[in-house]
Chains A and B, each alone.
Chain A
Amino acid sequence: MLRFTRKPYLGFIFPGFVIYTVFMIVPLLTAVYYSFFQWSGLGPKIFIGLENYRSLFFDERLSGIFWNALGNNFKFVGIVLAIIMPIQLFIAYWLDVKIIGYKFHRTIIFLPYVISSTIVGFLTMLVFNPNIGIINTFLKYVGLDSHLSAWFGDPRRAFPLVSIVIAWQGIAAGMFIFLANLKGISQNIIEASLIDGAGRWQRFRYIILPSLKPSLINNIILGTIWGLTQFDIPFVVGGSQGGVNNSIDFMNLFFYRFAFGGSYYGETSMGFGATISVVLFFIILIVAIIQITFLTRKFDGGSGQRSIK
């Protein structure tokens, strides 16, 4: 019946479609075009084919920075999946059990999420600054001077520290996804397991964990994208160079330096910047495709086997 009205949907969709296409989709595609040129952003574009890609992967000076930044991104993705996600699930589980003060915990754990990265960066400086920071001041006060450290100024410590700061700010998002999933599990099933006398771990392993498939898939994918697109905190804390010896350099900072910050042999290179963003785009695409196919297949296979038993 609705089909006979003359296409009113066009009027509704059109404005959004135009803005979304022009500023979201077209830029993703045209980045590929710019990556084939040597171009400072002003003046003539010189077509150089795949030269930017060759430089990125093989140029002595550039490829080192590239692999370091990409490596840091993947290191951080590893931290997200292996450490942060289990912690998020742990927090969500206990909030769902409604431990003492759960409403308070839920609120305060969420709080840093709404604080802007510049302010989180400022707090980081207050805590870790070698001269005036809280930690070093405290260490001096209690006489543990041998443990004084430059913290972010120490390349070996900067990466774990920046990971902690990023996690502190963002931990709530994935946690709430787990929590919403946990709340959706039928009380009756959990109640039945309680009556059967299943222990906490058994209940978690055999009743709760299998029901968490949707939130696990989502958090793995969202967490990976989160890890691959870090910018704010490393930039605010470590500057556009990504800290001492590029210790907290990430792909997005690397990109920013070259596209907007004049780091390509002293001048801004839009072409080379585009190349970096294209490579990052394909990395995200490939990782996402692998994860989606692998995750859905693995989980389906698992549940299939169980039902056969």
Chain B
Amino acid sequence: MSSRSHFEKLRGAKSPAAGIVSVVFFLYCAIALYLIPMLAMNSFKTKSDLINNTLGIIKTFTLDNYKTLLFEDHFMRYFFNSVVLTTASLASLLFISSLCAYGLSRYHFKGRKFLRIYFLLGMMFPIQLGILPIFIIIRNLHLTNNFLGMILIYTANMSLAVFIFSNFFRALPTALYESAVLEGAGEFTIFVRIMVPISKPVFATVGILNFVTIWNDFYMPLVFLTKKEVRTLTLGIYSYMNNFLANWHLVFAAVTLALIPVLIMFFAFSKFMITGLTAGALKE
């Protein structure tokens, strides 16, 4: 412990240069720490206060914006849509990609190497590049403005998930598997009963990383969800923003509510997110 702090001292963690850098970082952080609370504060201002006093301190506190937003607008619909779409897509993505990664890692067979590379291609070529043919396929399946189509697309965007799962499964001791085989368990049972429980941290990593990606996704909903009833939260906020003069009092409340789930996830699980972000990068 003391040798560690001595080591940090030697590296100059408390040197004048480090002090200056630290101040610069604090100033940079102040941008986010000013803007986000400001959004929340503005959501409690009255409409006239907002127009005349957008940047100032709150004058009269009101919950009217939230009342209008929640009970007289489509906001609840958008929020509910985002919850359903994100949950279902995550469930599908986690299930399909973990199965796939397990198959690629546990078994030796001809063409395994090829398949591993094949599943990595999506990391090089973002799914947006194929959006036009995807659009045509989805339309032919009559799945535009339909969550099933979106779930399929989000599931197909599985390269990173398969990669992270594969690295984990490959590192598991084969003894685990072999003892279960001796007890006569089936392959799928082994996966569900033995492999999934010990892989919880990886499921968390892949799950949280993709929660943020799907919850925040703008492009796919913009292309595929054009009807009001199926709009997601990001699209809803975009529509408020696009006409912000009319929705000036609503947009702050909407943005504040939209941020809450993400911020909870962020402060509770940012470790898993960092693991996910760096998992793909330093191997090989």
Contact = CB atoms under 8 A, between A and B. Distances in A.
Interface in A228-261: 229, 231-232, 235-236, 252, 256, 259-260
A190 interface: yes
Contacts of B122: 20, 24
Given A94-B25, A200-B17, A218-B282, A116 B216 contact: yes
A176 B25 CA distance: 16
Best-buried of A41, A110, A111, A191 by chain B (most CB within 10 Å): A111
A25 B35 contact: no
A13 B18 contact: no
A32 B133 CA distance: 10
A8 B133 contact: no
A164 to B, nearest CB: 10
Contacts of B35: 123, 126-127
Contacts, number: 269
Interface in B211-240: 212, 215-216, 218-219, 223, 233-235, 237-238
A200 B21 CA distance: 14
Contact of A194 (B11, B158, B251, B270): B11
B172 interface: no
Given A20-B119, A176-B278, A225-B124, A34 B133 contact: yes
Given A2-B107, A117-B234, A122-B255, A277 B129 contact: yes
Contacts of B152: 19, 23
Best-buried of A7, A23, A28, A190 by chain B (most CB within 10 Å): A23
A2 B190 CA distance: 14
Nearest to B278: A180
Interface stretch (A53-61, A149-157, A280-288): A280-288
Given A20-B156, A97-B12, A187 B7 contact: yes
Contact of B107 (A8, A30, A94, A252): A8
A11 to B, nearest CB: 7
Nearest to A260: B223
B246 interface: no
Nearest to A226: B126
Interface in B1-56: 7-8, 10-14, 17-19, 21-22, 25-26, 28-29, 31-33, 35-36, 38-39, 54-55
A265 interface: no
Nearest to B97: A16
Interface stretch (A63-71, A76-84, A100-108): A100-108
In terms of DSSP, what is the predominant structure of the interface of chain B? helix
Contact of A11 (B7, B188, B233, B273): B188
A286 to B, nearest CB: 12
A109 B25 contact: yes
B277 A173 contact: yes
The 8 tightest CB contacts between A and B, nearest first, are: A12-B103, A27-B130, A16-B100, A23-B156, A27-B133, A116-B216, A9-B107, A108-B29
Given A97-B13, A176-B278, A215-B282, 12 more contacts: A15-B100, A94-B18, A98-B8, A99-B18, A111-B266, A117-B218, A118-B218, A118-B241, A126-B54, A231-B219, A236-B241, A280-B129
